[in-house]
Amino acid sequence: FHNFSPVISGALVGGLWQVLVMFGLHQGITPIMILNLITNGYENVICCMQAVPFTTCAVVLAVYLKAKSEKLKKIALPAAISSFFGVSEPSIYGVTLPQRTPFFITLASAAVGGAIMGLLDVKMYTFGGMGLFAFPAYINPAVGFDMSFWGVLIAVGVAMVLGFTLTMLLWKEKEVK
Q: How far apart are CA 118 and CA 76, in angstroms?
A: 30
The predicted pLDDT at position 1 comes to: 56
Per-residue pLDDT of the chain in tens (177 residues, 90 and over written 9): 567 799 999 999 999 999 998 888 888 888 888 898 999 999 998 888 999 999 999 999 999 999 999 999 999 999 999 999 999 999 999 999 999 999 999 999 999 999 999 999 999 999 878 899 999 999 999 999 999 999 999 999 999 999 999 999 999 987 766
Contact (Cβ atoms closer than 8 angstroms) between residue 89 and residue 106: no
Total-model pTM: 0.92
Q: Which residues pair with 43 in a beta bridge?
A: 124
Largest separation between any pair of C-alpha atoms in the chain: 54
Q: Which residues pair with 152 in a beta bridge?
A: none
SS3 string, 51-97, reads HHHHHHHHHHHHHHHHCCCHHHHHHHHHHHHHHHCCCCHHHHHHHHH
Phi-psi category of residue 139: left, alpha or beta, with phi > 0 → left and psi -120 to 50 → alpha: beta
- E strand residue ranges, the chain: none
Neighbours of 46 (CB within 10 A): 20
